Structure 1
Amino acid sequence: MRLAGPLRIVVILLTVGLTWILGSLLLGQNSALDRIQQLLNGPQEQPSAETKPRKYKCGLPMQCPDKHFSFRIVSGAANVIGPKFCMDDQVLMSSVKNNVGRGLNIALVNGVTGDLMDTKFFDMWAGENGINDLLKFLRPIYEGTLVFVASYDDPATKMNEEAKRIFNELGSKAINVLGFRDSWVFVGAKGIENKSPFEQHIKNDKNSNKYEGWPEAVEIEGCIPRKQA
């Protein structure tokens, strides 16, 4: 009978303790349990910055080999967000640089040195100036020039057979089916012998469009071998 009092206290303490633990778990407030677990397991190493995924030039997840250019191109999103071109951590075209516009956005890069040669955009919707200016821009391109292309809003309404032929010669296949408000990104080169591996295309389809009247933006990234002089 003498033990009844102490036993009652022990039972009450155990009940209160179990209730507190159960309540903490249900409410997600288990910091006390975490501290107990830490005491049992010993100190845990904190993740260091070195364990985080490393990003390389233009945000690529890997480093390009020697004598290669790193690049990333994102097309425009609907008629709201302009395209962006990055090469070796240098932004060639973007809304921030204020050198992009509706239609086809094109950057020409020296395939030997990596130097930016020219940037222009061509309205492929209104009037004939867009396609005429595009042809004047594309015809003089010489062998070894890298051609970066991204759509914004509508890239194809004024497209004609001569322009398609030139893009075919640069390595594009999607140009043959490019249509009204399609999303398209492409990297080609004058003198390429085969289809370019750097091309993405999404058709404008009201049943699958991400935006009202436009498909989602497309993106390509990778490493381009430097042309030997």
Structure 2
Amino acid sequence: LAHPGVIRAVVLLLTLLGTWFLIVSPWGQSHGLQLHPSLTGEKLPRHKCGNQKSCPQNYFAFKIISGAANVVGPSICFEDLVLMSSVKNNIGRGLNIALVNGDCHAEAAPKSLFSLPDVTKLQTFLQGIKRGTLVLTASYDDAATKMNAKVRAYFTELGSSHVGTLGFRDNWVFLGAKGLMNKSPFEKHIKNDKETNKYEGWPELLEMEGCAPRKMD
């Protein structure tokens, strides 16, 4: 008698061969069955920032990832350019903010700016953002404790819907713009809750990718 392991291997091989035959046969093609590109040797398309899809013309690709607990730092990518990350050594605990102006020129804020007790530096920074500038934000460890009402109001003006309820060690990723007339559709927020936290004392990281219009209004 054949060994059970051999029988299972033969059954698996026959199943794979049967699936392959159905796909390559005229019947399979007429019903829209296709092999995954990795099985046919085709190169999978790479999209900007490693996103799942490309962006249409006059839209910018972006990906924002929050920090994970107080161990793994956040990252911000815009049009396939990593603006902030642990590798670039320009992130810090608290808020990490990158600005992109209308000419697609990016500027990352100093990593220590939002970890300082003096919140007036953050207020000055936010107040000085020029109209039409895109603002990409990622939290790391704790971004809310040192926020005051003015800082939250500035982010609300940038289009945030969640900054008003941002609490201790919540995770938050956000893309808004100075002069935005409506709420931004690009925002994710997860509460620090010991019942649902993925890490002890911190929620799971947040990842947001998408296509931002060249002019947000």
TM-score normalized by the length of structure 1: 0.78
Tell me what 2:86 maps to. 95
- Which segments of 5 or more consecutive residues in structure 1 lack a partner in the other structure? 1-18
Could you say if the C-alpha distance between residues 203 and 123 of structure 1 is closer, same or farther in structure 2, counting changes exceeding 3 Å? farther
Local SS of the residue matching 2:192: coil
CA RMSD in angstroms, aligned pairs only: 2.7
Map 1:174-185 → 2, pairs under 5 A: 174-185=162-173
> Is 1:20 the counterpart of 2:10 in the alignment?
no
CA distance in 1, matches of 2:130, 2:114: 24
Match of 2:100 among 91, 109, 124: 109
Query: Unaligned regions of 5+ residues in structure 2, if any?
Result: 25-34
**Could you say what secondary structure the match of 1:20 adopts?**
coil
Rg larger in 1 or in 2?
1
Maintained 8 Å contact 1:104/1:155: yes
Percentage of identical aligned residues: 52
Structure 2 equivalent of residue 67 of structure 1 = 58
- Runs of 4+, deviation exceeding 4 Å: 122-125
Matched ranges for 1:143-162 at <5 A: 143-162=131-150
* 1:113 positional shift: 1.7
Give the aligned partner of residue 202 of structure 2.
214
Q: Does 1:47 find its partner at 2:36? A: no
Q: Which amino acid aligns with 1:101?
A: G
Match of 1:168 among 156, 174, 194: 156
Quick one: distance in 2 between partners of 1:114 and 1:23? 58
Letter of the structure 2 residue corresponding to residue 138 of structure 1: L
Q: Give the 3 Å change call, closer, same or farther, for CA 152–23 of structure 1 in structure 2.
A: closer
| Structure 1 residues 175-209: Cα deviation after superposition (integer angstroms, max 9, x where no partner) | 00000000000000000011100000000000100
Task: Answer whether contact 1:122 1:133 (CA < 8 A) is retained.
Answer: no
Kept in 1: contact 2:77–2:84 (CA 8 A): yes
